[in-house]
């Protein structure tokens, strides 16, 4: 599905492809997730890294991308680097090398200490936001900074919120689908990416009050006008605006 002439949504994947950058863009990988949860007493199958790299591999095969932009939260912990995170970060860098794709990281609020691996891993790291080509990438825990360096950008792209929509079928079964949100902020197109993390079900944007959303940018735009493009079962479907979706839950 083409979102714009330059941005392609890959069917059934929480991923976008930007043609002019020849780049795949993902957000919220939360590497080391299962290991961190195990230390907190929650045992879950260790499949997240495998699922994410399978998705990225499929996206590379489809697009022939040469860059992989991770738009924040490549790791899981806030205040330290867990051993599981370090191991999976190393495995991720090796995966990128073997896949012949250049990783680029825009730091998120979970990405403390990541810069210490910038030199040994030859990892491109941007502290808060980055203008790459005609796009502004920021994670979303802080407001985007719009100044002379961002003049003329085509769109802003963020993560952080883990957006999803909740739907109920005819027999009352509730289901949550990851989604990409598409709208505008200060007349500039804004894309909010779903989490690549396999276990991150997401925040049901059509059910949660605006005041409870994490990203501060939502305080300054009409989220009801944003489109929810759901991802699931191998398909990518525009479910319309959040305002309309709120009427049917």
Domain spans of the chain?
A: 7-246
Classify 72 as helix, strand or coil.
coil
Burial class (CB in 10 A: 0-12, 13-18, 19+), 145: exposed
Q: What is the pLDDT of residue 71?
A: 95
**What is d(CA 3, CA 61) in angstroms, rounded to the nearest whole number?**
20
Tokens representing 130 are 């980055």
Rounded to an integer, what distance in angstroms lies between the CA atom of residue 2 and that of residue 97? 28
Task: Report whether CATH 2.40.128 matches the domain 7-246.
Answer: no
Q: What's 161's DSSP letter?
A: S
**Mean pLDDT in order along the chain per 10 residues (249 residues):** 91 96 96 81 88 97 97 70 79 94 85 68 84 96 94 96 86 85 97 95 91 94 95 87 86
Residue 233, pLDDT score: 74
DSSP 193: P
The radius of gyration of the chain from alpha carbons, rounded to an integer in Å, stands at 17
């Amino acid at each position: 599905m083409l979102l714009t002439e330059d941005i392609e949504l890959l069917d059934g994947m929480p991923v976008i492809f930007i043609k002019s950058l020849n780049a795949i863009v993902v957000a919220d990988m939360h590497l080391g997730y299962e290991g961190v949860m195990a230390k907190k007493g929650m045992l879950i199958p260790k499949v997240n890294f495998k699922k994410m790299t399978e998705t990225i591999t499929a996206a590379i095969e489809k697009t022939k991308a040469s860059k992989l932009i991770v738009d924040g939260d490549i790791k899981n912990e806030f205040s330290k680097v867990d051993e599981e995170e370090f191991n999976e970060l190393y495995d991720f860098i090796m995966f990128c090398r073997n896949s012949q794709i250049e990783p680029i990281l825009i730091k998120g609020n979970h990405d403390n200490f990541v810069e210490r691996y910038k030199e040994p891993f030859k990892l491109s790291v941007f502290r808060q936001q980055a203008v790459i080509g005609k796009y502004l990438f920021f994670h979303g825990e802080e407001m985007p900074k719009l100044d002379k360096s961002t003049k003329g950008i085509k769109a802003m792209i963020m993560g952080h919120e883990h957006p999803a929509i909740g739907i109920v079928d005819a027999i009352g079964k509730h289901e949550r689908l990851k989604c990409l949100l598409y709208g505008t902020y200060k007349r500039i197109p804004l894309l909010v990416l779903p989490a690549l993390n396999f276990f991150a079900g997401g925040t049901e944007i059509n059910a949660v009050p605006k005041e409870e959303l994490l990203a501060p940018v939502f305080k300054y735009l009409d989220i009801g006008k944003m489109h929810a493009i759901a991802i699931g079962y191998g398909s990518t479907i525009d479910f319309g605006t959040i305002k309309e979706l709120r009427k049917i839950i």
